[in-house]
């Protein structure tokens, strides 16, 4: 695929599977702040600090939030073509699963091993304590989230990127926190606008979960409708 | 169900579907800090502050993290029976989907409408910008996470709580950010240790997604094995 993300007449999701290019200096600063927030989230869960100590930290964070709220938020005023192109370029960096900028994301680190009809991707992730479900295990819902993203990148790398129509996850074995996990995802077949994908999750040699995903490649008019809906929401 | 969470010989997940009781004063302070972190995450995504301004906030947050890291973390040293009971009591409050204490969670607010074989639950949530997938839409992976939790609470309310074996989500219509969404989940049938559940996600009258989940009620020895694995991870 050589099309430019966000270019006129192209599929606006065209760049989805391409790793974000070099981040802008501003985005690098966002990642630095996001990493501190990740550390803070682990502390909130695990600290035994006193109430007064926790409230001191709360006040520190609140003053930081207030200083940012008072500053510019041009991106929130609706998206023009340039903003859309910029956004497409940094789509991955803002994802709640892959995004280094987004503290909701661990994040998962993903590599496209092969493009085209047999597209294959691999993702690596070490979930921390805030993602715990059963004791010591990754929350099953976040395993599903990661599969959605891994299979989404795989189907995007097939050349006809779209949106998830069905996601199925079979949980085979408890998935440990604080251990490196490996997700694999690949395209199985393409039928018209339907892209069929499958994936696995391993910890070492242990198969922890399997998944299949059906994606429907997106018509340009749907993308326009979503953008209109997005702007009317603001 | 009247059993005490964490009591000897009981299913340790027994209290899963019961809303967390009144939080301790320390946990209330955690929620206050978590709410500031939620506001900060939205700012990281949307701010157009300068690099220097973002780094000032990064340094503020870092000083807060450092002050907490230097303090007590008794809970992280392994779990004794009392810690387990305390933890069970606040299981929901720490969940990455439902947990008011956990900034990864929006959170989803859930109510058990009926217990027993026909257990039914309802969850309400308004996803914010950090949970965006396609433009203006909730990331499909986080819809799956929420279903895992909603169906998990429903199966738990059936009286034989366990772990997810299969989760299937069918996406029917784009799901908007910044709008209140309603999840419903219910138990369809119980066959031995297998609990079959189904659920829906609506925005107003629009069906956005449907889900089914198979749960396997947990044997006490599995819970013990998970706890051992958890402790060996620390």
β-pair partners for A114: A120
Which of helix, strand or coil describes residue A50? Answer: coil
Q: What is the rounded CA–CA span in Å between residue B120 and residue B118? A: 6
Contact A141 B136 (CB under 8 A): no
- Give the model's pLDDT for residue B45: 92
Number of CB atoms found within 10 A of residue B21's CB: 11
d(CA A91, CA A86): 8
Distance from CA of B28 to the nearest CA of A (A): 9
Instruction: Give CA separation, A90 vs A18, A41, B128, in Å.
Output: 10, 24, 18
| Cross-sheet strand order for the sheet of A206-217 | A109-114, A120-125, A181-191, A194-203, A206-217, A162-171, B162-171, B206-217, B194-203, B181-191, B120-125, B109-114
pLDDT at A220: 72
| pLDDT in the model for residue A158 | 87
C-beta separation of B154 from B185 below 8 A: yes
Average pLDDT score over residue span A105-129: 95
The predicted model gives A92-105 an average pLDDT of 94
- Mean pLDDT of all residues in chain A? 85
Task: Walk along chain B (234 residues) and give the pLDDT tens digit of each residue.
Answer: 333 333 333 344 444 444 456 788 999 999 999 999 999 999 999 999 999 999 999 999 999 999 999 998 865 444 445 555 555 556 788 999 999 999 999 999 999 999 988 999 999 999 999 999 988 999 999 999 999 999 999 999 988 778 899 999 999 999 999 999 999 999 999 998 999 999 999 999 999 999 999 999 877 777 777 777 776 655
End-to-end CA distance of chain A: 33
Taking contacts as CB-CB distances below 8 angstroms, the residues of chain B near A165 are 170-171
CB spacing of A144 vs B139 below 8 angstroms: no
Inter-chain residue contact B102 with A30, CB threshold 8 Å: no
* Angstroms from B101 CA to nearest CA on chain A: 7
Task: Please state the rounded mean pLDDT for residues A14-19.
Answer: 45
Domains of chain B from N-terminus onward: 74-232 (3.10.129.10)
Of the candidate ranges A139-148, A159-168, B208-217, the one whose mean pLDDT is the lowest:
A159-168
From the list B47, B96, B177, the residue facing A73 with the nearest CB is B47
* pLDDT tens digits for range A30-65: 999 999 999 999 999 999 999 999 999 999 999 999
Q: Pick the more confident residue, B137 or A87.
A: B137
| CA angle (B138 as vertex; B136, B139 as ends), nearest 5 | 115
Sequence-distant (6+) residues with CB within 8 A of B195 are B155, B158, B160, B162, B187, B214, B215, B216, B217
| Residue B25 CB contacts under 8 Å (≥ 6 apart), including other chains | A51
Which residue from A34, A40, A164 is facing B171, i.e. has the nearest CB? Answer: A164
- Please name the member of A76, A104, A139 whose beta carbon is closest to the beta carbon of B130: A104
Burial tier of A232 (Cβ tally within 10 Å: 0-12, 13-18, 19+): exposed
Q: Do B61 and A131 touch (CB under 8 A)?
A: no
Nearby residues of A1 by Cβ (< 8 Å), 6 or more positions away: A14, A18, A115, A159
* Helix pair A51-69, B25-46: axis angle to 10 deg: 20
| pLDDT score of B15 | 43
Judge: A61–B37 Cβ closer than 8 Å, yes or no.
Answer: yes
Q: Which residues of A touch B69 (CB under 8 A)?
A: 39, 43
Of A63, A140, A229, the CB nearest to B60: A63
Which residue in the set A94, A142, A226 is minimally distant from B145, CB to CB?
A142
Answer yes or no: are the C-beta atoms of A37 and B33 closer than 8 Å: no
Among A30, A104, A125, which would you mutate to test the B interface (most chain B Cβ atoms within 10 Å of its Cβ)? A104
Mean pLDDT, residues A196-213 taken together:
98
Q: Which residues, 6+ apart, have CB-to-CB distance to B155 below 8 Å?
A: B119, B161, B162, B187, B195, B197, B213, B215
| pLDDT band (50, 70, 90) for residue A221 | confident
Could B41 and A229 be called an inter-chain contact, meaning their C-beta atoms sit closer than 8 Å? no
Report pLDDT digits (tens) over B212-231: 999 998 777 777 777 777 76
Write out chain A residues lying below 8 Å of B94, CB-based.
45, 132
| Averaged pLDDT score across all residues of chain B | 85
B152-166: buried (b, 16+ CB within 10 Å) or exposed (e) per residue?
Answer: bbbbbbbbbbbbbbb
């Amino acid at each position: 695929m050589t099309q430019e993300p966000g270019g006129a007449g192209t599929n606006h999701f065209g760049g989805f599977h391409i790793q974000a290019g070099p981040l802008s200096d501003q985005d690098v600063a966002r990642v630095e702040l996001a990493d501190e927030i990740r550390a803070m989230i682990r502390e909130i869960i695990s600290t035994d600090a006193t109430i007064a100590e926790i409230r001191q930290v709360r006040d520190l964070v609140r003053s930081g939030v207030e200083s940012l709220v008072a500053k510019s938020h041009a991106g929130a005023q609706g998206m023009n073509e340039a903003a859309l192109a910029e956004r497409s370029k940094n789509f991955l960096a803002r994802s709640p699963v892959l995004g280094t900028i987004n503290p909701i994301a661990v994040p998962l680190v993903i590599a496209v091993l092969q493009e085209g009809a047999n597209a294959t991707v691999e993702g690596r992730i070490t979930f921390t304590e805030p993602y715990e479900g059963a004791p010591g295990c990754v929350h099953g819902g976040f395993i599903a989230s990661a599969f959605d993203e891994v299979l989404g990148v795989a189907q995007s790398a097939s050349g006809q990127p779209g949106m998830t129509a069905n996601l199925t996850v079979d949980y085979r074995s408890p998935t440990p926190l604080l251990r490196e996990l490996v997700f694999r995802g690949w395209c199985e077949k393409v039928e018209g606008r339907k892209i069929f994908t499958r994936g696995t999750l391993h910890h070492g040699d242990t198969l922890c979960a399997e998944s299949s995903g059906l994606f429907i490649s997106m018509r340009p008019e749907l993308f326009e409708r979503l953008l209109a809906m997005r702007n009317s929401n603001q």
